[in-house]
């Protein structure tokens, strides 16, 4: 298993940051062949997801709908005032696993891997592991 981490600097309170190129770069630099790529974010107010990377309106629409489902203020008891971010991060999840074939992520033509920020701006860590098959 080969592992590393990198930082992602977010600019807004809620946003999707495409990290697909960083993941592919990790695989290329480590001469990865066939296996699995595990991507994990060790945070409770951001998540990770795979979704469309062709039209940025998709990410905007997802953030808009998450905001409707989980409003910023809704009588939450958590004293830090970021309960909505915790809920959204739990809904998105903290990891994805992607097959790797011949050193390339196996993603659909329109798919990308996104860090989902819900409590920014911040600097986030992304842990990546390649498990050889």
Task: Kindly report the backbone phi and psi dihedral angles of residue 108, in degrees, each rounded to the nearest multiple of 5, phi listed first.
Answer: -65, 160
- Residue 75 lies in domain: 2-132
Q: Which residues lie below 8 Å from residue 28, measured CB to CB, with a gap of 6+?
A: 103
Here the CATH number for the domain that contains residue 72 is 2.60.120.460
High-pLDDT (> 70) share of the chain, %:
100
CA distance from start to end of the chain: 10
C-alpha angle 39-90-93 in degrees, rounded to nearest 5: 25
Strands (E), 26-78: 35-40, 46-52
Total domain count, the chain: 1
This prediction has a pTM of 0.95
For residue 130, is pLDDT > 90? yes
For residue 133, is pLDDT > 90? no
Query: Mean per-residue pLDDT for 22-39?
Result: 95
Cα–Cα distance between 125 and 133 in angstroms, integer? 26
């Amino acid at each position: 298993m080969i592992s590393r981490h990198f930082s992602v600097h977010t600019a807004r309170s809620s946003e999707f940051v495409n990290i697909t190129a960083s993941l592919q770069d990790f695989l290329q630099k480590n001469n990865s062949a066939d296996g699995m790529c595990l991507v994990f974010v060790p945070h409770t107010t951001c998540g990770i997801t795979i979704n469309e990377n062709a039209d940025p309106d998709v990410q905007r629409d997802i953030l808009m709908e998450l905001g409707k489902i989980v409003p910023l203020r809704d009588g939450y008891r958590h004293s830090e005032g970021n309960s909505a971010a915790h809920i959204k991060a739990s809904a998105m999840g903290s990891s994805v696993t992607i097959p790797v074939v011949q050193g390339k992520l196996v993603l659909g033509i329109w798919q990308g891997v996104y860090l989902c920020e819900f409590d920014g701006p911040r600097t986030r860590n992304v842990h990546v592991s390649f498990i050889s098959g």
